[in-house]
């Protein structure tokens, strides 16, 4: 059983209990710590179950029938244990632990999509969620309570006095625990005492309490429960919801929110009182009722003891063992473990562990191109010599491990984000300002400027202070609408956008960076970085955001971009067009900076064909000329992930033969509008066939749909005559 580390956590404690029970029932089981360097001394429980360290297990390659993960990160670690089956002991919908725009939610989501991994959970609501939304095999094994430790005969830490004592429990710096809300409710009452227990040192200056306890050992908690009358627990995320049950077992009662998991054993008005989540007024009212109504309080306490007695651990732990055997019977053997290992003599265990995790990246990608590219990097990192890894190399290892974490998304995640795009925002008649970096985007908005109704407001990404001049620019040119390229640039200048909204200026943000696609199999760190940057634009007062690639629409909606549509970066008809009778000078043209990946993709054609590769510095006025002078224009992605590059449209506007890797977005059709080539060998053979006349000329799509005029018409703009 994999456990992240020893600590004060309900989830870790429950895992200890279940592991010990399995061991006592005769199962051959170990507890394996992921992040500990030495075996910890467990003080919360008396455990006889054997323990080990994860890095030792990975290196030793011991074989197991089952490996049990107990937290979403440990499910990834389980893939490196030599086991026939993987079981996930899922104690909550762990996506809820993170904000909606936190990338960790994607990593958690990935743990729910493997149908050949069995799941055990402690709560019915989790079981129903994973079965309905993800089609998983999920067994139910509810939590319990140690009645020898938690019972009304435990001596209190401090005897109760005349004032009622309210206990608030939970880390104050974890938002979903709603500790701040509990204090706002409790501090409304003067004739009570408030005790506070937390696993962290965080305390807000506004909180008033009589006693405070930090990092309390598990065996000391019954004394605190026995010293208090009412547990005030208003969480918005829970799994089984343990503290109220512990309070009941010790003779107290609880006021809780209707968080998922409370229904496992809490009955409103029978053994506790329940209020809606985040309803401070209701919580104050119910707490007042508990304080003033002693008969009600005593009845709830008596029924709480009865509830706890039905949930003793000795009744519950056999259900977990049964669940393990049920999964073994239902789920076929599907070993995620790989026998391909890196054994580096002279390296320490931690280094070997990291190396093998990186190797797992290469195997999970299942692409020869990626494998060769990645193994080349690994060769450079280790040099296959007996010496320690330098600091810079360790950093590179962490970078590759991040890619290992982001390996797959389920279409289930996006099912509710598949509604039609809505171009309901209308651009009023009049002048339009285009705010962007001229070196990248002038070719996009060139036509409106040339036709006299567009005005360029240049942005320097290295010095954004000139954004403060935008209001004066708007007034000078009588601008009615502003289209901002790279809308995240305004994150620190939101006051400028708010001022423009007061002037009734329509604001459109145009997102132009490649980010993760819907259901993408592997992520590149570059995509993740760009997504993080774009999230800065989410709270800015744009009337609408436009993203350049339809393939990421549902991803963006998932991350909270509600007012968003897609449109590929427009191309200028005035800058890109066929030049009649233009003499061909080059077999293949590639316009774009050099990267290791691109050089690998061009390695064959650069050896055999007349290739012109211009990395940077070509003025946009000259680009059309060199495109027309080339038989073929090659389009390659910046890094090995799909994208829709503007240079592909520019080539088609100029009448060129376009050879490209797979383009995303669905705007162009492979082998109908462009020749598809995804490997160096395929690129070479395709180019040779085009040059020899063995491939027919492809017909371009309706290019008018990719112009700035078409984009503006989408928003109801009336072009000046």
DSSP collapsed to 3 states, 24-88: HCCCCCCEEECCCCCCCCCCCCCCCCCEEEHHHHHHHCCEEEEEEECCHHHHHHHCCCEEEEEEE
Alpha helix positions (H), 535-577 = 553-558
Reported confidence tier of residue 374, pLDDT bands at 50, 70, 90? very low
Residue 395, pLDDT > 60, answer no
Give the residue-averaged pLDDT of 110-124. 85
Residues with Cβ within 8 Å of 37's Cβ and at least 6 positions away in sequence, in order, are 53
Between 176-185, 457-466, 506-515, the lowest mean confidence (pLDDT) is in: 457-466
Reported confidence tier of residue 301, pLDDT bands at 50, 70, 90? very high
pLDDT at residue 59, rounded to an integer:
62
What is the number of H-type helices and E-type strands within the chain?
A: 25, 24
Residue 383, pLDDT > 50, answer no
| 16/2 Cα distance (integer angstroms) | 10
Burial class (CB in 10 A: 0-12, 13-18, 19+), 124: middle
| 412/129 Cα distance (integer angstroms) | 12
CB of 3 closer than 8 Å to CB of 31: yes
Output the DSSP codes for 221-254: HHHHHHH-SEEEE--S--SS-HHHHHHHHTT-EE
Give the residue-averaged pLDDT of 484-506. 92
Closest by CA position to 91, among listed 74, 116, 66, 76: 74
Residue 637, pLDDT > 80, answer yes
Residue with tokens 């209001």: 471
Tokens representing residue 516 in the block: 């993760």
Angle at 303 between CA 300 and CA 307, to 5 degrees: 125
pLDDT at residue 413, rounded to an integer:
47
How far, rounded to the nearest angstrom, does the alpha carbon of residue 574 sit from its chain's CA centroid?
A: 42
pLDDT tens readout for residues 33-81? 987 777 887 766 788 999 998 877 766 778 899 999 999 888 877 877 8
pLDDT at residue 411, rounded to an integer:
43
The whole-chain average pLDDT of the chain stands at 84
Beta-strand ranges (E) seen in 79-170 are 82-90, 118-121, 138-140, 164-169
Reported confidence tier of residue 193, pLDDT bands at 50, 70, 90? very high
pLDDT tens readout for residues 417-457? 788 899 999 999 999 999 999 888 999 999 999 999 999 99
pLDDT tens readout for residues 431-442? 999 999 988 899
Give the residue-averaged pLDDT of 110-134. 86
Burial class (CB in 10 A: 0-12, 13-18, 19+), 462: exposed
Residues with Cβ within 8 Å of 250's Cβ and at least 6 positions away in sequence, in order, are 150, 151, 152, 154, 222, 225, 226
Residues with Cβ within 8 Å of 581's Cβ and at least 6 positions away in sequence, in order, are none
State the DSSP code for 209: -
pLDDT tens readout for residues 679-703? 999 999 999 999 999 999 998 899 9
pLDDT at residue 109, rounded to an integer:
76
Residue 643, pLDDT > 70, answer yes
Residue 538, pLDDT > 80, answer yes
Give percent of the chain with pLDDT exceeding 90: 55
pLDDT at residue 402, rounded to an integer:
36
Residue 360, pLDDT > 60, answer no
Give the residue-averaged pLDDT of 133-148. 90
How far, rounded to the nearest angstrom, does the alpha carbon of residue 282 sit from its chain's CA centroid?
A: 34
| 481/474 Cα distance (integer angstroms) | 9
What separation in angstroms does the CA of 422 have from each of 558, 567, 712? 16, 12, 14
Residue 303, pLDDT > 90, answer yes
pLDDT at residue 356, rounded to an integer:
53
pLDDT at residue 98, rounded to an integer:
79
pLDDT at residue 37, rounded to an integer:
73
Reported confidence tier of residue 357, pLDDT bands at 50, 70, 90? low
Q: Are strands 611-614 and 164-169 parallel, antiparallel or unpaired?
A: unpaired
What separation in angstroms does the CA of 41 have from each of 21, 44, 46, 257? 19, 9, 10, 35
pLDDT at residue 350, rounded to an integer:
58
What separation in angstroms does the CA of 524 have from each of 107, 406, 590, 667? 14, 8, 23, 23
Greater pLDDT, 58 or 626: 626
- Strand, coil or helix: 331: coil
Reported confidence tier of residue 355, pLDDT bands at 50, 70, 90? low
pLDDT at residue 41, rounded to an integer:
79
CB of 47 closer than 8 Å to CB of 346: no
- Counting Cα atoms < 13 Å in the Cβ hemisphere of 68 gives 26
pLDDT at residue 147, rounded to an integer:
93
């Amino acid at each position: 059983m994999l456990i992240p580390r020893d600590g004060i956590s309900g989830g870790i404690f429950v895992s200890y209990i279940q592991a010990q029970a399995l061991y006592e029932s005769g199962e051959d089981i170990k507890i394996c710590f992921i992040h500990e360097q030495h075996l910890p001394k467990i003080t919360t429980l008396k455990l006889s179950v054997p323990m080990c360290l994860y890095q030792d297990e990975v290196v030793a390659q011991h074989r197991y029938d089952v490996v049990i993960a107990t937290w979403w990160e440990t499910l990834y670690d389980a893939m490196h244990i030599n086991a026939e089956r993987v079981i996930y002991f899922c104690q909550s919908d762990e996506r809820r632990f993170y904000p909606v725009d936190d990338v960790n939610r994607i990593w958690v989501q990935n743990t729910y999509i493997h149908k050949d991994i069995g799941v055990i959970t402690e709560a019915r609501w989790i079981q129903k969620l994973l079965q309905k939304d993800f089609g998983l095999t999920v067994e139910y094994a509810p939590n319990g309570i140690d009645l020898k430790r938690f019972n009304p005969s435990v001596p209190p830490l401090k005897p109760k006095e005349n004032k009622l004592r309210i206990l608030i429990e939970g880390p104050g710096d974890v938002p979903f625990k709603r500790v701040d809300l509990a204090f706002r409710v409790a501090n409304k009452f003067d004739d009570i005492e408030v005790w506070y227990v937390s696993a962290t040192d965080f305390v807000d200056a506004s909180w008033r309490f009589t006693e405070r306890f930090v990092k309390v050992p598990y065996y000391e908690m019954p004394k605190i429960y026995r010293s208090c009358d009412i547990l005030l627990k208003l969480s918005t995320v829970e799994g089984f919801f343990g503290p109220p049950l512990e309070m009941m077992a010790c003779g107290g009662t609880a006021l809780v929110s209707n968080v998922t998991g409370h229904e496992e054993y809490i009955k409103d008005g029978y053994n506790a009182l329940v209020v809606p989540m985040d309803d401070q007024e209701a919580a104050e009212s119910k707490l007042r009722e508990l304080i003033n109504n002693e008969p009600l309080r005593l009845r709830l306490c008596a029924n709480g003891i009865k509830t706890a007695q039905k949930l003793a651990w000795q009744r519950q732990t056999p259900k977990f063992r049964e669940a393990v055997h049920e999964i073994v019977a239902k789920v076929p053997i599907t070993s995620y473990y790989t026998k391909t290992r890196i054994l580096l003599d002279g390296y320490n265990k931690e280094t070997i562990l990291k190396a093998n995790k990186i190797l797992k990246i290469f195997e999970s990608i299942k692409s020869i191109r990626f494998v060769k590219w990645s193994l080349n990097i690994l060769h450079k990192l280790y040099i296959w010599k007996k010496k320690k890894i330098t600091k810079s190399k360790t950093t590179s290892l962490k970078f590759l491990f991040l890619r290992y974490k982001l390996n797959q998304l389920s279409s289930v995640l996006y099912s509710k984000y598949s509604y039609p795009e809505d171009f309901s925002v209308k651009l009023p008649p009049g002048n339009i300002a285009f705010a962007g970096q001229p070196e990248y985007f002038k070719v996009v908005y060139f036509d409106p400027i040339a036709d006299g109704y567009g005005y360029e407001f240049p942005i320097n990404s290295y010095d954004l202070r000139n954004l403060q001049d935008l209001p004066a620019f708007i007034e000078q040119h009588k601008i009615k609408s502003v289209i901002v390229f790279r809308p995240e640039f305004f994150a620190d200048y939101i006051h400028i956008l708010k001022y423009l909204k007061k002037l009734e200026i329509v604001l459109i943000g145009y997102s132009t960076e490649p980010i993760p696609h819907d259901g993408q199999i592997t992520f590149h760190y570059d995509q993740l970085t760009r997504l993080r940057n774009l999230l800065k634009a989410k709270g800015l007062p744009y009337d609408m955001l436009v993203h350049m690639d339809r393939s990421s629409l549902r991803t963006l909606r998932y991350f909270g971009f509600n007012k968003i549509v897609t449109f590929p970066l427009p191309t200028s008809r005035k800058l890109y067009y066929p030049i009649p009778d233009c003499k061909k000078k080059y077999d293949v043209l590639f316009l774009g900076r050099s990267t290791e990946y691109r050089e690998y993709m061009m390695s064959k054609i650069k050896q055999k064909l007349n290739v012109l590769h211009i990395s940077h510095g070509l003025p946009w006025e000259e680009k059309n000329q060199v495109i027309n002078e080339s038989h073929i224009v090659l389009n390659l992605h910046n890094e090995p992930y799909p994208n829709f590059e503007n240079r592909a449209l520019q080539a088609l506007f100029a009448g060129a033969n376009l050879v490209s890797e797979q383009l995303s977005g669905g705007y162009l059709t492979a082998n109908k509008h462009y020749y598809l080539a995804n490997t160096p060998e395929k690129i070479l053979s395709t180019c040779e066939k085009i040059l020899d006349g063995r491939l027919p000329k492809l017909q371009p799509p309706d290019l008018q749909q990719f112009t700035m005029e078409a984009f503006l018409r989408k928003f109801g703009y009336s072009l000046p005559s």
